[in-house]
Structure 1
Amino acid sequence: MELRRNESIVKENIAVSLFRGIEVVSGRLTITSDRLYFQPHSLHIQKQPLELNLKDIAAVEKRNTLFMIPNGMKIKMNNGQDHTFLGWKRAEIMGSIQDTKKEQKMTVIIKTR
């Protein structure tokens, strides 16, 4: 991942998995001052990275895997798309997204229930 002009890293190398259809793709998430960048591990069929601009994120919600495991997070985009991640650092990731959007004077809804 190359940083854009005036972009800085907030958190990097966070182990997460991303639901892509029926495949759960594991990889690493980087949070920058402008975007979320997911880089899948090379072992998966779907190896393309995912880049989400922070300004396009409408809401972030907690999700439970199998209805009881507190490790999921759904990112809702302004265009109606959703991206669901799994990771044990969910609270840290959600807090970083919220803090970074506040610093950039962007709004985001964080749902903790």
Structure 2
Amino acid sequence: MKQAVKTLIYAGVPFGIFVGLCIGILNGFYAGVFAGLFSGLLFGLTLSIFAEVQKRKFKKIGLQITNGKKIIMDGGANHFKGVEGVGGWLFLTADELIFKSHAFNVQRHQIIIPLNEIIEVKAVPTAGIIPNGLLIKTNDSTERFVVYNRNTWIKKINEAISALRRGFTGTIG
């Protein structure tokens, strides 16, 4: 519920302000205020509901996606594939990082990154300013994600990599 309220605020407020300004310039102050409030609330609620539906769906099929492996951490994420931020779900197991896109994308895909191939995990800003980007570098590729709680993701991924290198395959954190 807490995440739904955050989504409502972080998505709905900027959208409402933008729409309100546009409508206000074209149709006057009161029309802009009404349009901004209505559209921001509607957009934020729609996005919150969508996020909750996806969360429940991916929680159900998580063990399928990870081939029955214990999930250390998971959450909604965007994976950058070219210029598109493909929405989906990110899973961390004791030996892999797995991203699975949801069905509402142009580029649907799944990517599996073995933890033993990761050489760097770091925080990066999205669009140069938003503090929610996660960069995963392997010898063969560089993958960028947008996640909630990126510092926790970095910590958990690094813990899993360390445990894997020590030969530990049990539960982490």
Match of 2:151 among 65, 75, 91: 91
What's the counterpart of residue 56 of structure 1?
117
Give runs of aligned pairs for residues 1-113 of structure 1, distance below 5 A: 1-3=65-67, 7-12=69-74, 14-79=75-140, 81-105=141-165
Classify the secondary structure of the residue corresponding to 1:3.
coil
Percent same amino acid among aligned pairs? 26
Q: What's the CA shift for 1:28?
A: 0.5
Output the CA distance in 2 between the equivalents of 1:84 and 1:74.
Answer: 5
Gaps spanning 5+ residues in structure 2: where? 1-64, 167-173
Output the CA distance in 2 between the equivalents of 1:57 and 1:103.
Answer: 13
Output the CA distance in 1 between the equivalents of 2:123 and 2:132.
Answer: 8
Gaps spanning 5+ residues in structure 1: where? 107-113
- CA RMSD, 1 decimal: 1.4
Which AA in structure 2 matches 1:3? N
Output the CA distance in 1 between the equivalents of 2:66 and 2:127.
Answer: 36
Larger % of helix: which? 2
The answer to whether the 8 Å contact 2:90/2:97 transfers is yes
> Per-residue CA shift, 1:66-113, capped at 9, x if unaligned?
32211001110122x10000112111111110011111126xxxxxxx
Q: What TM-score results when the alignment is normalised by the length of structure 2?
A: 0.55
Classify the secondary structure of the residue corresponding to 1:105.
helix
Q: Which has the higher contact order (CA 8 A, sep 6+)?
A: 1
The answer to whether the 8 Å contact 2:116/2:165 transfers is no
Output the CA distance in 1 between the equivalents of 2:114 and 2:83.
Answer: 24
Larger % of strand: which? 1
Give the 3 Å change call, closer, same or farther, for CA 75–2 of structure 1 in structure 2.
closer
Q: What TM-score results when the alignment is normalised by the length of structure 1?
A: 0.83
